[in-house]
Amino acid sequence: MQREEKQLEVTLQAILNRVNDLKTAIQALIAKLENEYETINWPTFLDNYAILSGHLTGLSKILQAEMAPSLRALVVLPLQLGCERDEALSRLSEGRVPACTHDLVPDLLRTKPEPQAEQRLQQFNHKASTLSYDTAQKQVAQFTKVVNHVWEIISKGREDWEGESMRSQGMQPTHSIGDTHALVTAVGTGKGLRPGMAPLGGVGVGVGVGVGALGPRGPPGPPPPGPQAPAMPKAPSAIKTNIKAANQIHPYQR
């Protein structure tokens, strides 16, 4: 007798622990759906659902274990009924059952559905049993068609989503090879700094002379459209310039 009571106590404790884990997982999933319904994705939802499935599987294994006593042979009866608040019962039920009243006990100890639900279930079973074979096959075909259509929509949406995810994972280029070459050419030869100016074969070094003024000038380009501003007379420069010949040794040449 003591051995059976010990096994029953261990089994009930294991069931209670598994039910608490299941309750915590359900609360976490509900909180995630309520607070992160705009950002939650399908893989995350499946991961949380897999946790619930794991707890249910563990609970089933405990109930089907050979060492566990058969709970069907046990009867649960209330020892005392009353309308006064029971603090211990309220603490055990986390505030859901404040008192063990006459109206509440039948619902807690019910082993069958409510009479209204049981009556509706019997009506559905009778309607299903009187349905002809051809009508049932037509309904099954229509339901299969709807399911296939929904499956195609979900599959297409999944493919589009995965394609966007793969494209977003690739790094976007932050530079242009053509712009880099044009910038190097402009700095090295002066190409593109002045309209109609030919690129230079050699590079000269001058003091007080801009890069665009080095080397022989090409044919003058067409004048820019629009009214021309009057040319300002050049002021005499007080700085003497000394332009070295291009055939001299460049200080950066090797």
Largest CA distance in the chain: 122
Residue 250 has what pLDDT?
Answer: 52
pLDDT value of position 150 = 93
- Residue 7's closest CA among 63, 92, 68, 58? 68
Q: Indicate the DSSP class of residue 73.
A: G
Identify whether the C-beta of residue 243 lies closer than 8 Å to the C-beta of residue 210. no
208: left (phi over 0), alpha (psi -120 to 50) or beta: left
* Res 136: pLDDT: 86
Burial class of residue 197, CB neighbours in 10 A (0-12, 13-18, 19+): buried
Task: Please report, in angstroms and rounded to a whole number, the separation of the first and last CA atoms in the chain.
Answer: 103
One-letter amino acid of 47: D
Q: What is the DSSP letter of 151?
A: H
Task: Write out the chain's pLDDT in tens, 254 residues.
Answer: 677 788 888 888 888 899 999 999 998 888 888 888 778 888 888 888 899 999 999 888 888 876 666 777 777 788 888 888 888 888 888 888 888 888 888 887 887 888 888 899 999 888 888 888 888 899 899 999 999 999 999 988 888 887 776 666 665 556 677 788 888 888 888 777 766 555 554 444 444 444 444 444 445 555 555 455 445 555 455 545 555 555 555 555 54
Is 1-74 a CATH 1.20.58.1710 domain? Answer: yes
Q: Which of 62, 54, 57 is nearest to 14 (CA)?
A: 62
What per-residue confidence (pLDDT) applies to 4? 78
Minimal CA–CA distance to 187: which of 211, 218, 217, 206?
Answer: 211
DSSP single-letter state for residue 143: H
Q: Residue 147 has what pLDDT?
A: 93
**Residue ranges of the domains in the chain?**
1-74, 77-111, 113-163
